[in-house]
Structure 1
């Protein structure tokens, strides 16, 4: 398949030990086209790359997110391993965009996510543009057709633009809303007024979207934040978590398509993710919009890698 690239084991190299002291030593590579998935009941986490920035390009953003997945992998590689021995972490390679056909890339991604989730693997998808959200959600809905999947998005943007000419990285959650109608459940954390026009706020209100703006999404407000998150969680059966790196302050995440100095800090993000993990409803997650082309000393990729590690640790 032209849009699939098997995992590159050469990325997962570094210090060697005889007791898996490093993250890269826990990684198993599986080719989705030729290898068979393990069938025992071991807890498994899957890393799948969405190496696509066509949606960002269509949205007039700064391209480069297609290199995001491997950038995150490289920053995961040297981390010390304090994870449980009985979990398995699998790199499934990348879905790539070899042409400008975003819809084909999304369709293939949807199928792979559905396949992995259906085999009880907890996916952490590495983006790539936020157009991944449309494919990711629909891949999960295919596995859980009769359950309400709530979306929690850590992001500066609603990504609720109406589709005018063609879908892009700014339209995924509007597309999902059109499909879901009354079942659409969406909570945005870190929304910035200057990054969302009045029409987007009107769309959010019309669709019943819940949100907390960046001025309030701070650690000192965590009691009220946690109450709102918990209230949202109580209304859904399952949770899909999506983390847009451009929601973070550019002091921590300069390597994104749309950097902002007034984004949120890692401390509130980590505490929020922990709360979501503790709900026992989280079924899949992704990290999007990392653009290595504009990163500084890999600090955005390092932050993304730590978020991946934290998710695995909390869910193990």
Structure 2
């Protein structure tokens, strides 16, 4: 466990985004009243929100830039929500990407995530493009390497990645690393370490992923559920599939690309979904992960306030964080 305080190289914490109404009744706290700056990693463990202000990966992937503004928009949307947590929550600041320096930003994110995990916090990273995933996972990997020093046989960590997304993001990183390559990069990193690659991608749009990507997912043994499969009638079965997947894992990393939601619910993303999976059907999946006791890290990606309408996307993302952190200590 680390007990170092924040240094000049650590993210800047700007608490001015946390504002909103207050209520006179007792026990009526909202997020903006309860959250505190994480100015010292020795604080009691809680949920730690860390921004990743970067859309270099989206630009490289020929998407709509603007996701660098996602962390600030998400904080503003989360601030007025009612506070129902039992444990504390902290704002750990932002990692900002300078220009196209995506890899540098990912490395800084990985370092900060590892620090937060070492201090016992649950990091929740606010994207940013989905290139955030490689930085998030790299931080978890760095943290786990210290706990599994032998790194062989039964002593390797069994990390399950659960991605709620319209896209596999398994493009070949040999061409260009972008928001479309993080899970291919993670698969390669797992192979280099001798770790199993356990990946579930739920909400995939067949119209938005080529046959080559579906073939790559099959080759890697990915648990795939398409958007058209996730409906109210089949939801219980999909939750059971997810629980079986989680049973084979010791640690879980949840990553949520907001373009998994229908465009009407999430217009402010790089690639709005023609169909998508409604928020009401995503929440039971997120709650299953939350309640597993194995969640170590989560992130949300692709919130682009430049294209949002009435803050719909930001509000949906805030609602998901609210659900994810309920009863998490």
TM-score (norm 1): 0.93
Structure 1 window deviating more from structure 2 (16-25 vs 245-254): it is 16-25
Alignment of 1:232-251 (within 5 A): 232-251=245-264
Alignment of 1:91-240 (within 5 A): 91-145=91-145, 146=148, 147-181=157-191, 183-240=196-253
Aligned to 2:35: 27
Please identify runs of 4+ aligned residues in structure 1 that moved more than 3 A. 1-5, 16-20
- Distance apart, 1:66 and its partner CA: 0.2
Question: Residue 45 of structure 1 contacts residue 312 of structure 1 at CA under 8 Å; is this kept in 2?
Answer: yes
Question: Residue 4 of structure 1 contacts residue 96 of structure 1 at CA under 8 Å; is this kept in 2?
Answer: no
Question: Residue 134 of structure 1 contacts residue 172 of structure 1 at CA under 8 Å; is this kept in 2?
Answer: yes
Unaligned runs of 5+ in 2: 1-6, 149-156
How many Å separate the matches in 1 of 2:228 and 2:22?
45
How many Å separate the matches in 2 of 1:178 and 1:130?
17
- Distance apart, 1:165 and its partner CA: 3.3
Q: Is residue 2:15 matched to residue 1:9?
A: yes
TM-score (norm 2): 0.90
SS at structure 2 position matched to 1:75: helix
Q: Deviations over 1:163-204 (max 9, x none)?
A: 133310000000110111361000000001111001101111
Question: Residue 165 of structure 2 contacts residue 260 of structure 2 at CA under 8 Å; is this kept in 1?
Answer: yes
Question: Residue 292 of structure 1 contacts residue 298 of structure 1 at CA under 8 Å; is this kept in 2?
Answer: yes
- Distance apart, 1:141 and its partner CA: 1.2
Aligned to 1:58: 60
Aligned residues: 308
Unaligned runs of 5+ in 1: none
Q: Is residue 2:57 matched to residue 1:49?
A: no
Question: Residue 42 of structure 2 contacts residue 119 of structure 2 at CA under 8 Å; is this kept in 1?
Answer: no
Question: Residue 269 of structure 2 contacts residue 304 of structure 2 at CA under 8 Å; is this kept in 1?
Answer: yes
Aligned to 2:317: 304
Question: Residue 85 of structure 2 contacts residue 327 of structure 2 at CA under 8 Å; is this kept in 1?
Answer: no
CA root-mean-square deviation: 1.7
How many Å separate the matches in 2 of 1:111 and 1:20?
36
- Distance apart, 1:15 and its partner CA: 2.4
How many Å separate the matches in 2 of 1:49 and 1:192?
27
